[in-house]
Each structure stands twice: as structure tokens, then as C-alpha cells.
Chain A
Amino acid sequence: MNGLTLRNIFFDEKIRSILIQAFVVGLIGVGIYSLIQTTSYNLDKRGIDTGFEFLKNPAGYDISLTLIPYTNTDTHLQAYFVGLINTLLIAVTGCFVATIIGFTIGIIRLSTNWLFRNFAYAYVEATRNVPILLHIIFWYTVLLELPKIKEAANFLKFFFLSNRGVYSPALILQDGMGIVFIFIIFSIVFAIIFNIWAKKKQESTGVQLPVFLINSGVIIFLPIIVFIALGMPLLWDHPVLKGFNFKGGMVIRPEFVAMLLGLGIYTGSYIAEIVRSGIISVSKGQREAASALGLKKNIVMKLVIIPQALRVIIPPLTNQYLNLTKNSSLGIAIGYADLVHGFGGISLNITGQAIEIMAMVMATYLTISLTISLFMNLYNKSVQFKGNT
């Protein structure tokens, strides 16, 4: 009305909110800038070297659990990768165990059997109300009560159980195993193609082939036949008690098992609740309508209930996977050699590069979490309703 006077600009709601927001953003920017300045000034003043040069220096310490080659003469960078892989190992296996426990208990929670239902209820309430750290320490303490190494319990002849872990024979690959692996890959590829073909056939003719039976037969038996035909190119390396410890074979250490049990059981109880709520969220009418069409009970579950329940389950399930991954850093309490324990702990202490190392560890967890989110979101999209909107 009055044109663009200064007064009008100031009292214009839109412009004013932009101004305020710009001011706040600027303030945060100045804050971060001065934080960085202060830090680097102080580091400089205290004579602490900064930068990532230390990554090239030899780490000098040993790590027991290594899935990639590592000795104490390797660099801190290599120690970082060892830790990263150990973190991923516990995260992936933990999510797997938690999912299995969660889905089993979640479905049992809805069972019509009073005993089963209430057992699952008790499990969920008892585990999810205890802090995760206590779960881990509890399982570690339990595992430490297993027989001592000299009195290791022998079971199934080749396996030994002690408080230093489960020792089992290890496989040593011989010449010819490569061919077997090629056949394994070949049979999996075959199974995928057959699956697509069978689906097309069902869509065009309505004939259902026993896809699962044929595929599992091919995947299991084809490599076994090749394996036997090549004269079984495998050797077993048996663990033998020599001196202080078992030599040879493989070992699954109590630190790993305690982490797996702690994380799996704790997160599993949350997933159980998520699964239960997902199944309940599918309205009763859906089940009744599917039954009215004459579908069998397991087909109803597979084609009607689960796909709809997944829409509700996936987002909070993603959250639980993220939590589990982050909680795996608690391995430090029992000496599980993950990223925080090795690189974020021992390397940090040796080099003193706290800021650089912590930044790296944080960025790594962020990357892992975002990757999990990305894949879960993609999966979530694939199970959402695809209708005309």
C-alpha cells in the first residue's frame, strides 16, 4: 500500500523471518568458525602436532581378532581398517541375530497359546528394560565361567569349549576348490534365472512350479557332486592343546560371543515389539477377505499380511539396526577389538591425536549409519503401496 519503505520491509512477515533465519545461520557459522580457530590455536600453542601424518606410522600393537592381514609393524591406517571390519562384523551378525530373535518372539507374542505368548511377553519386558551395557557384561561374565583352557570341554569330538572361546577345526582349501566355488556361483545364477522364468510362466499360464524345491536342490547338490567328483579337495585343521592354548583350527572368542548375545537379545526384544505392532496394524478384514477367497493360511500370511506389515515394520526396524551398530562400540567394556577400542583407544593413546582420530571414528559411524539408512529406505520404498494416487 505504502510501497517499499524500510519500515515495511522490517514489518513484512516473510522478509523478517528470512532476516532472523539468516542471522541465526550466521551466528552458528561464526560459532563453528571460532570453535575451530580456538581449537587449532590452542593445539598449536601447546605444541601438539595436527594432521593425519600419523596414519602412516607403524601402529606397534597387536590385535587378536583380525579378518584382514595385520601385524604390529603395519600402520595405524591398517589398524583402522581392522577395527572397521570388526565393527562391521559385529554389526552385521548382530543385526542378523536380533532380526531372527525379533521376528520369532514378535510372532510368538501373538500366539493363541497362553504359555508361549506370556513367555515372549516376559522375555521382551525383562530384556528391554535392562541397559545394554549390563547385557554385554552379563554375558561376558557368564562366558568367563566356562571351563578353563586346560579343562576345555570336548564335544562332537572335534570341538572344544572353554572360557577362551569355542575351538573348531578350520578348513584348508586345496587345489580344485576354485572349481567348486565356480559351480556354487553358477547354481545361484541358475536359481535366480529359473525363479524369474517360473514367475513369468505362472503369470501367463497360472501353473505353479515347485521353485523352492528345485532351486535349493540345485544349489545344494550340484556343488556337492562336483566336490566329490574332484576328490574332496579340502583338509581339516584340527585344534590341538599345546602349551598355553589350542594351536590350529578356528576360534570364536568369548568377547565376540558376548557382544553378539548382548546386542542380539537386547535389540531383538525391541524388534519383537516392532514386528508385533506391524502384524496387528494389518486390519482383520484383510485376513478375512483373503480367507474368503479360499487362500490357504500360509499363503494369506505370505501374500497378504506380511507385505502390509512390512510397511509398518521397516522404518522402526531401520532405527534398531542403527542403534545396534552404534551400541557395538560398547565392546570397549569387555575388550572386543572394534573400531573404538583399537583405533579409537590404543592408537589414540599412542599418537595422542585425539581430535583427528575421534573425527575419523565419528565420520566412520556416520557413514555406516547413513549407508544402512539408505539401503533400508530403498527397501522400504519397494514394499510401500504402489497405487494410483
Chain B
Amino acid sequence: MKYIKSLMVALTVVLFTSASFADTLNDVKARGMLKCGSNTGLVGFAAPDDAGVWKGVDVDVCRAVAAAVFGDANAMEVVPTTSKARFTVLQSGEIDMLARNTTWTFSRDVDLGLEFVGVNYYDGQGFLVPASLGVSSALDLDGASVCIQVGTTTELNLADFFRMHKMEYESIPVETNDEADAAFLAGRCDVYTTDQSGLYAQRSTYPNPDDWVVLPEIISKEPLGPSVRHGDSKWADVVRWSLNTMIIAEEMGITSANVDSHLSSDNPSILRLLGKEGAYGAMLGVNNDFGYQIIKQVGNYGESFERNIGLSTPMAIARGVNSMWTKGGLIYAPPFR
């Protein structure tokens, strides 16, 4: 009887506690650690390195948020999520935020109960082919077999692209990167399609990266960005301005190396960013020096980019559209004031 009683209590607790969450910032503070959903392993965006430490531009967003909330970029745990489970995991409150190369779309923003807070990488769907195939444009792909990793907007863009150009194809949707990769390498399909960033990541893992070509066409807009649960604007603000801080820091030329020297800057907007003037941290509900902590511990947007996916890395992605707006790119943040 005693057991039944405790079972009933447990049951009631399970059934009703999941119904209540509202203030994520408080929950995160109370837990003392940020739970950040990310990829199960995409080199350059979110993947554990040889020592098991998660690295990547998406992970850096998680680290920035942790630095803002706790003043410690390491006060976070990366929760690997599959493309299919990621939204459910976020909605159910298992993670506090999602930074997992996820495309910001209307239906996800409106219908799925998500709130996208910004864009940390402008991507687009592309095609990877073996160089030996002798194809130089995606318009030559009529009749090809295409390997797709499922659970993304990829299938839809692909279908639209081939339909628009009146071409035929055989779709081979595969559940994970690794399996799609194996099928592609074995020659089950001629083309591998996913976001271009993913293609570069994939190619960097191949034995002879030069034997593979990423075709120039981009067939979709894929703004990848972090998201939080809909209806918690306070928390959305924290994540949004953690990302914006990284972007503004690059714009102002503040890096993790020189941030300390900027503490005595004459420029008021730098002083505001680093928490030396104004009470912006307090408005956000975090420490006033959150900007300083992000830049010091994580670095600015450009540093994160170069460190994880830039030309010096195996990924070798040029800044391109992901340059600062001052350099003709799309990376832009509203003013910090």
C-alpha cells in the first residue's frame, strides 16, 4: 500500500509538473547550468573534439549565453539532438535553447511554437558531386539519384528545384549524416544535397577532399539561427543579445585578446557594450559585464567563425555572405544602446 501511495504521488508529479514553465532565465540560474540543444555532430558547427569538448559556431552561441548568464562560458551542457527530435526536445523544456544549424522559417516560427532570436550563419542548400562526374552546374542533374538527409527543409527545396526546372530525379532519403554519407560514397547516388555548410563539413572528412566539388548553385535561403520557446521574451532577449554582442564586438574590432585594453576606451558605445556604462545587464536580468565576459571567453563573431569553419580550418569556408555588413555581408546587429 505504501508503494502504491508513493507511486501515485510520483505519477501525479510527473503528470502535472511538465505543465508549468515560464521563466527560463530563472530556471537556468537556479540550475546553475545552461542546457543547450545542438547537433549530434556536425564538424565546425557542433561536434566534440578529440578531448570530447564540444566545439563549433553553434556551440559558441551556447557558450556566449552561458557567459552572459553566469559569467562562465563553460557553465553549459551541450545536448545533442537529431533533426527530428530537436523541436520536441525544446518544446518539452528538456533544453533551454536550441543552437543547432536550424533554418528560420515561417512555419517553425509561427506554427511550431518556436522563437528565432537571430541568424548566426547564412546558409543555402547546395549540391556535392564527385569531380569525376564532370558536372559543373546543378542544372545538369536531370535524371540523377540524390541522397538527402531527412528531417529538414531539404526535401522540399529539392522537390521545388527539380520541378521548377522540369528535371527528374530519384530521391534517396536517409536518416542520418553517416548513412547518407555511406550511400553517397558507395555510389548509390550521384549527388548529395544539404546545406552548403554541411557539404563543406562532409567533404572535409573525406580521404581526398579535392575529388569532390560543391556546385555553385544555392537553391534555397537557409538562415540558421538559435531559437527558444515561444512566449518567454525575457529569455529570448538574453539569447538574442548574447549573439548580437558577438556581432557588435567584431564590428567594433574588439576581440578576446584586446578586450581588456578596451575597458578604458574613450568610445561610449564600447563602454556600454562592456558594461562600464549604463545598466544594460540589469535590464536583461544578468550581470552588467555580460558583454565583457562573452567577448573575453568566447570571442567575437569573426573569431568564432575563423576558429571553427574559416579558411584555416579543414572546412575552409570563406566569409562570403557571412561577412560583416560593413564589408558587404549580411551579418548585422541592431545598435547596443
Contacts and interface: CB of A to CB of B under 8 A. Distances in A.
A35 B144 CA distance: 47
Given A144-B182, A247-B143, A49 B111 contact: yes
A249 to B, nearest CB: 14
Contact of B230 (A47, A144, A332): A47
B229 to A, nearest CB: 7
A85 to B, nearest CB: 17
B144 A245 contact: yes
Contact of B155 (A46, A145, A333, A346): A346
Contact of A354 (B88, B145, B150, B162): B88
Contacts, number: 123
B91 interface: yes
B169 A62 contact: yes
A194 B84 CA distance: 57
A34 B229 CA distance: 23
Q: Bin chain B's interface residue count.
A: 35 or more
Contacts of A34: 15-16
A48 B156 CA distance: 21
A247 B15 CA distance: 56
Contact of A346 (B19, B108, B144, B173): B173
Contacts of A45: 231
B159 A61 contact: yes
A341 interface: yes
Contacts of B172: 64, 255, 335
Contact of A46 (B113, B153, B187): B113
B51 to A, nearest CB: 30
A48 B111 CA distance: 6
B317 to A, nearest CB: 26
Nearest to B108: A352
Contacts of A61: 155-156, 158-159, 171, 173
A144 B188 contact: yes
B89 to A, nearest CB: 11
A33 B160 CA distance: 43
B170 A64 contact: yes
A149 interface: yes
A345 B84 contact: yes
Interface in B117-164: 141-145, 150-153, 155-156, 158-160, 162-163
A352 B156 contact: no
Contact of B179 (A149, A244, A333): A333
Interface of A: 27, 31, 34-35, 38, 41-42, 45-49, 60-64, 72, 141, 144-145, 148-149, 163-164, 242-245, 247, 254-255, 332-335, 337, 341, 345-346, 348-350, 352, 354
25 contacts: A38-B19, A42-B18, A46-B113, A47-B111, A47-B113, A48-B111, A61-B173, A62-B159, A64-B171, A72-B163, A145-B186, A149-B145, A163-B186, A163-B188, A244-B141, A244-B143, A247-B143, A332-B175, A333-B175, A334-B179, A345-B151, A345-B173, A346-B150, A350-B153, A350-B156
